[in-house]
Amino acid sequence: MTDYPPGGVLFSNKRKKTETQPDFTGDLELSDEVLSDLVSQMERGVKKPKLSIAGWKKVSKKGTHFISLRGSLFKEREDRPPQKPVDDFNMGPSKAADEDTIPF
């Protein structure tokens, strides 16, 4: 049996019935190091502790699309490039409406 590092998954919510329910559901395991850092942030007075999350699009052996997750220590970075919004499970760039194309 392979010992994988802590991580998680997000699957499309097939039970979604209303717009207020989540599009994706899943879980995320955190390493002792990440958990200790979150506790340390709270002890330093941080009101909303942060961790970094990375995700990879994958397909299960049964053909189900999902996102594999990994949580890690949050580090403030000044050189962080702006994030592109995504529009659906295909996780492509968002097609934001241009103000000139809005019909009102």
Q: CA 22 to CA 25: how far, in whole Å?
A: 7
Q: Return the pLDDT at 83.
A: 64
Q: What is the pLDDT of residues 60-104, one digit of tens each?
A: 999 999 999 999 999 877 766 666 666 555 654 444 444 444 444
Q: Return the pLDDT at 75.
A: 87
| Domain boundaries, given as residue ranges, for the chain | 1-75
Per DSSP bridges, beta strands 24-28 and 51-59 are unpaired
Q: How far is CA 19 from CA 10, 37, 43, 45, 87, in A?
A: 18, 34, 37, 35, 15
Q: What is the pLDDT of residues 3-59, one digit of tens each?
A: 888 999 999 999 999 999 999 999 999 999 999 999 999 999 999 999 999 999 999
